[in-house]
Structure 1
Amino acid sequence: MKLLYLGDVVGRSGREAVISTLPRLRHELGIDVAVVNGENASHGFGLAPDMADALFAAGADAITLGNHAWDRKEIIPYIAQQKRVIRPLNFPPGTPGDGIVDITLPDGRRVLIAQVMGRLFMDPMDCPFRALEGVLSRARLGVTHAAILVDFHGEATSEKMAFAHRFDGAVTAVLGTHTHIPTADHHVMAGGTGFMADVGMCGDYDSVIGMTKDAAIGRFIRKMPGERLHPTEGEATVCGALIRVASDGRALAVEPVRLGGRLAPAMPSR
């Protein structure tokens, strides 16, 4: 089995790059399940329902969100109906939507996608460790599910790595999002869980994490509210990771994906 995860889609250039590239990636790499983080797709802040529909039409099986989940208010009724869009699992009880989605492949195999959000340098949240423990009391890798993929949306690499070690062997992969910078630590842990602290963003890297440079620089220099940040519109790099999965649900390999734009390319073989 092969799972494809594409990182934070930022603005129009990121959306257009993913929509045009994802069908080719699915075909050329023989992808079974494709997941996209869409929380920055709408002008850098949130996800609009029509944009989610376009990502699904391009081949996404599930879309994850994050700390910008509710920046577009239209997503609240949409997420109640469209179960393939998920927000962090450790949002407080009663929050709209869900933090997991269960996908059944044509051959009957089940793949569980979950998202949690970190607590270091982020908004106060329920414990992501306990949140996933509750899910894994019902879902067992290699027994009920052929693969379990977790998106850890957070700032701190230490928190992401600690989380991955805690669930090493219980999930297929823990892949980080949120910082918009692809890390070079992709590997399979001792227990068979694939890990990458951040898969990077799908957006224009001639920017400050996808946003226009002058406005972002001004905020750091003046330490005052400035103009609203806007995504840049240059050529985007599509960033993500490919996870090759063994028959028992553990990861065989984690391979970076980088196509187009300014970053050095990385394209896994089929």
Structure 2
Amino acid sequence: MRVLVVGDIVGRPGRKTFEKYVRNFKEKYDFIVANGENSAAGFGITSKIAEEFYALGVDVITSGNHIWDKKEIYTYLEGTDRLLRPLNYPKGVPGKGYTIVKSRSGIKVGVVSLQGRVFMPPTDCPFTRFSEVIEEIKRECKIIIVDFHAEATSEKIAMGRYFDGKISVLYGTHTHVQTADEKILLEGTGYISDVGMTGSDNGVIGMDAKSIIPKFIECLPQRFEIANGKERLNGLDIEIDEETGECTRIDRINMSLSQIEIY
């Protein structure tokens, strides 16, 4: 099975770039997962944007700490199993932390959204919460894809090692900076510390530099604005063995909008 994973989609520039990519390349993929927690002006996601992603061919939307930024999404989360909030938020909050969706060819795929705890808002332990449900997921499908939305690379690496051989792929999101450590771990799990982001490369992790830099200099609250220009898509092109659930190939995608438009 060939899977497309897309890093944090940031605002309108990210949505535009993502749309161009999937319109040109989606026929290559059996399954598409995208992180959409920054897709609405850089903070959160709306139900309208989620539906637009589904129409483009996205099977599951993962998220992270910004999933709560648009209040309308609380109700929407209760009625969907294709937009995930992190599994390890306290039990009883709106939404689901994992789902099982069929691929284009009818193969069941489990997708899990987790959030880290190092340098992140307080949540329950992601190791423990995922351990509580992994066997339940594995009873239904062999392919399990995990988006670990976390800051510290050490926490991401530890999570990859801990679940190596039990899941197909674990990839990091949140930092918006693509790492170059993609690999298949010892027991067959694909891994990368961070997929990166989809949006403008002109600013600071997708936001306009003029609105970000004063925050570091003055230490005062600032209104952040979306950056524009030099848009790029960061993601993963993955092959997974449908019989074993093991990752057989994991390649980074780092394409400019101009490169995408050539096709």
TM-score by length of 2: 0.95
Aligned 1:63-74 pairs, distance under 5 A: 63-74=61-72
Query: 1:43 — aligned with what?
Result: 41
Instruction: Please say if residues 63 and 85 of structure 1, whose CA atoms lie closer than 8 Å, have aligned partners that are also in contact.
Output: yes
Q: Which whole-Å CA distance do the structure 1 matches of 2:21 and 2:106 have between them?
A: 27
Match of 2:236 among 241, 249, 254: 241
Match of 1:251 among 244, 247, 259: 247
**Structure 1 residue 139, shift from structure 2 partner:** 2.4
Counterpart of 1:45, as a letter, is F
Query: 1:229 — aligned with what?
Result: 224
Higher normalized helix content (fraction of residues): 2
| Helix, strand or coil at the partner of 1:191 | coil
Match of 2:75 among 74, 77, 82: 77
Counterpart of 1:92, as a letter, is P
Aligned 1:1-270 pairs, distance under 5 A: 1-27=1-27, 30-105=28-103, 107-140=105-138, 144-226=140-222, 228-246=223-241, 247-261=243-257
Instruction: Please say if residues 109 and 146 of structure 1, whose CA atoms lie closer than 8 Å, have aligned partners that are also in contact.
Output: no
Q: Which whole-Å CA distance do the structure 1 matches of 2:162 and 2:200 have between them?
A: 34
Which 5+ residue runs of structure 1 have no aligned equivalent?
none
Q: Which whole-Å CA distance do the structure 2 matches of 1:51 and 1:80 have between them?
A: 16
**Structure 1 residue 188, shift from structure 2 partner:** 0.2
Q: Which whole-Å CA distance do the structure 2 matches of 1:224 and 1:129 have between them?
A: 35
| Helix, strand or coil at the partner of 2:144 | strand
Counterpart of 1:53, as a letter, is E
Counterpart of 1:245, as a letter, is I
**Structure 1 residue 223, shift from structure 2 partner:** 1.1
| Helix, strand or coil at the partner of 1:195 | strand
Counterpart of 2:83, as a letter, is V
Q: Which whole-Å CA distance do the structure 2 matches of 1:175 and 1:128 have between them?
A: 14
Alignment deviations for residues 131-177 of structure 1 (CA, whole Å, 9 cap, x no partner) = 1111212122xx63131000000100000000000000000000110
| Helix, strand or coil at the partner of 2:220 | coil
| Helix, strand or coil at the partner of 1:85 | coil
| Helix, strand or coil at the partner of 1:150 | strand
CA shift in 2, pair 1:213/1:107, >3 Å: closer
Counterpart of 2:163, as a letter, is F
**Structure 1 residue 261, shift from structure 2 partner:** 4.7
Instruction: Please say if residues 42 and 226 of structure 2, whose CA atoms lie closer than 8 Å, have aligned partners that are also in contact.
Output: yes
Which 5+ residue runs of structure 2 have no aligned equivalent?
none
Instruction: Please say if residues 205 and 261 of structure 1, whose CA atoms lie closer than 8 Å, have aligned partners that are also in contact.
Output: no
Q: How many residues align?
A: 259
TM-score by length of 1: 0.92
Instruction: Please say if residues 194 and 254 of structure 1, whose CA atoms lie closer than 8 Å, have aligned partners that are also in contact.
Output: yes
